[in-house]
């Protein structure tokens, strides 16, 4: 951590004294298998948070899934939903619950890896029950936001409420600006670059590869992207297509461990999360997907069964509780796991004014963290 980073992050408590950071309760559950009545479980968890109806009635709800990496990449040959993808049983239950609560329209979105083709086909390749999903609510749509996707007519410029760390805002598929309620359905996982990947890091996938991808156009979007966002976002080797806002300061470090935690918070600041859900029933440790190997930040990966569910209406408080359930200190600074190589995005989210990462200011409902904790690699 540089002296400038230390000064910036150490100033967060002082800023919090001047203006109270948002907080919201977080519901947690011990749940050991995917053979449960998730409709009932989720219903009770939402009731503990004040009820779902008042959040979604007559609203368009957009659900950002976590379908990171190609469907062909499987960890130890296991089903995608028990390692690094959102689990389809959770999606089916959430769809039915949102419909009963009065949601007008439910949209599932993801920027599918290496393609701008139909998201429904990508999900079918992943083994998802797409037909069941379409009948679980009155109006269900599947949208690949890696580009316009044959559905949207334009991109929407969405600016970061805090001004941005790396980018002042993003050009996103217009479905994100048409959203009344944004839900992030994430996994309880480590991340090779960001230490953790929970509800906030999941939103990085909203950025279209047509504009922010390695093969994005120089001036205009490339509506047939086939790559990730390593050059633009992780390494900062090039700028996004000129249709988008450029970086605030191209002289900042060209280092993914510096850039990605900040860009992730810039995305959440631009397209805020209204409902954060984290699945930790089964997952993987040591990284965000099966492509992470023993040379990664956590020196290896494994399949584990923490048996946990986490739900909240503020992504910072929800991810803070999720981080603590993984055995980590949510307020750890760079150099301490899981942020031993990167900056702590929870503290960056505080600096952006998105919420508190102080467990003492977060009401946890449904169980005690110390009773439910499942220690991930390098946790104390």
Which residues, at least 6 apart from 308, have a Cβ–Cβ distance to it below 8 Å? 28, 29, 30, 31, 188, 278, 280, 281, 325, 372, 374
Residue 380 lies in a domain: no
CA distance 169 to 240: 12
As a three-state string, the secondary structure of 100-155 is HCCCCEEEEEECCCCCCCCHHHHHHHCCCCHHHHHCCCCCEEEEECCCCCCCCCCE
pLDDT of residue 11: 47
In a domain, 377, yes or no: no
Q: What percent of the chain has pLDDT over 70?
A: 95
Assess whether pLDDT exceeds 60 at residue 371. yes
Report the range of poorest mean pLDDT among 22-26, 132-136, 272-276, 338-342. Answer: 132-136
CA distance 175 to 158: 12
202: in domain: yes
Half-sphere exposure of 79 (CA within 13 A, CB side): 11
Residue 378 included in any domain: no
- Per residue in 294-320, pLDDT (tens digit) is 999 999 999 999 999 999 999 999 999
List 52's β-bridge partners, or say none.
none
Instruction: State how far the alpha carbon of 243 is from the alpha carbons of 145, 163, 170, 171, in Å.
Output: 16, 19, 10, 8
Whether the CB-CB separation of 206 and 108 falls below 8 Å is answered with no
Determine the Cα–Cα distance for residues 224 and 186; give it in Å rounded to an integer: 26
DSSP 57: T
Sign of the Cα pseudo-torsion (253, 258, 264, 268, in order) = negative
Q: Domain residues for 190?
A: 25-372
Contact 240, 221 (CB under 8 A): no
Whether residue 13 is predicted with pLDDT greater than 80 in this model: the reply is no
For residues 180, 108, 273 and 198, what is the CA-based torsion angle, rounded to 10 degrees?
170
Residue 227 is classified by DSSP as: S
Region 171-178 average pLDDT: 97
How high is the pLDDT of residue 18? 57
Q: Are 214 and 227 in contact (CB under 8 A)?
A: yes
Mean pLDDT, residues 74-92:
97
More confident residue, 266 or 114: 266
Tokens 């992207």 belong to: 225
In a domain, 3, yes or no: no
Residue 15 falls inside a structural domain: no
Instruction: For residue range 148-169, list pLDDT tens digits in order.
Output: 987 789 999 999 999 999 999 9
pLDDT-derived band of residue 1, with 50, 70 and 90 as boundaries?
A: very low
Exposure class string for 107-124: b at 16+ Cβ within 10 A, else e? bbbbbbbbbbbbbbebbe
Question: What pLDDT digit, counting tens, does each position of 124-152 carry?
Answer: 999 999 999 999 999 999 999 999 987 78
Alpha-carbon span 31 to 279, nearest angstrom: 10
Residue 288 in domain:
yes
How many structural domains are present in the chain? 1
Q: Is residue 176 part of a domain?
A: yes
88-100 and 38-48 helices cross at what angle (nearest 10)? 60
- Tell me: pLDDT of 8 over 90: no
Q: Is residue 9's pLDDT more than 90?
A: no
Could you list the beta-strand ranges (E) of 162-216. 169-173, 181-187, 189-191, 195-197
235-250 residue pLDDT tens: 999 999 999 999 999 9
Predicted TM-score of the model (pTM): 0.94
pLDDT at 5 over 70: no
Mean pLDDT, to the nearest integer, of 24-28? 98
pLDDT at 17 over 50: no
pLDDT at 46 over 50: yes
């Amino acid at each position: 951590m540089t002296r400038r980073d230390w000064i910036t992050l150490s100033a967060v408590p002082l800023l919090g004294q001047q203006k109270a950071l948002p907080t919201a309760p977080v519901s947690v559950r011990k749940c050991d298998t995917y053979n449960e009545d998730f409709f009932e479980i989720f219903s009770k968890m939402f009731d503990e948070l004040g009820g779902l109806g008042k959040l979604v009635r007559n609203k368009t709800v957009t659900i950002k899934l976590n379908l990171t990496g190609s469907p062909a990449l499987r960890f130890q040959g296991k089903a995608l939903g028990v390692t690094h993808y959102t689990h389809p049983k959770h999606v089916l239950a959430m769809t039915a619950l949102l419909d009963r609560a009065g949601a007008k329209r439910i949209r599932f979105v993801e920027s599918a890896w290496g393609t701008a083709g139909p998201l429904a086909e990508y999900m079918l390749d992943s083994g998802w029950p797409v037909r069941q999903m379409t009948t679980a609510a009155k109006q269900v749509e599947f949208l690949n936001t890696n580009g316009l996707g044959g559905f949207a007519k334009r991109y929407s410029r969405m600016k970061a409420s805090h001004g941005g760390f790396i980018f002042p805002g993003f050009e996103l598929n217009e479905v994100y600006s048409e959203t009344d309620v944004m839900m992030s359905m994430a996994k309880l996982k480590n991340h090779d670059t960001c230490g953790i990947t929970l509800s906030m890091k999941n939103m990085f996938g909203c950025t279209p590869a047509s504009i922010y991808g390695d093969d994005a156009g120089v001036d205009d979007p490339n509506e047939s992207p086939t790559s990730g966002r390593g050059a633009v976002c992780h390494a900062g080797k090039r700028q996004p297509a000129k249709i988008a806002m450029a970086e605030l300061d191209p002289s900042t470090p060209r280092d993914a461990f510096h850039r990605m935690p900040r860009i992730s918070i810039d995305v959440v600041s631009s397209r805020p999360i209204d409902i954060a859900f984290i699945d930790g029933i089964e997952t993987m440790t040591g990284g965000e997907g099966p492509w992470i190997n023993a040379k990664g930040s956590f020196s290896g990966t494994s399949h584990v069964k923490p048996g946990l569910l986490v739900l909240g209406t503020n992504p910072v408080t929800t991810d803070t509780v999720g981080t603590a359930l993984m055995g980590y200190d949510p307020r750890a600074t760079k150099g301490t796991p899981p942020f031993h190589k990167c900056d702590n995005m929870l503290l960056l989210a505080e600096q952006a004014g998105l919420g508190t990462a102080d467990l003492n200011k977060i009401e946890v409902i449904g169980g005690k963290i110390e009773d439910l904790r499942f220690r991930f690699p390098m946790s104390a």
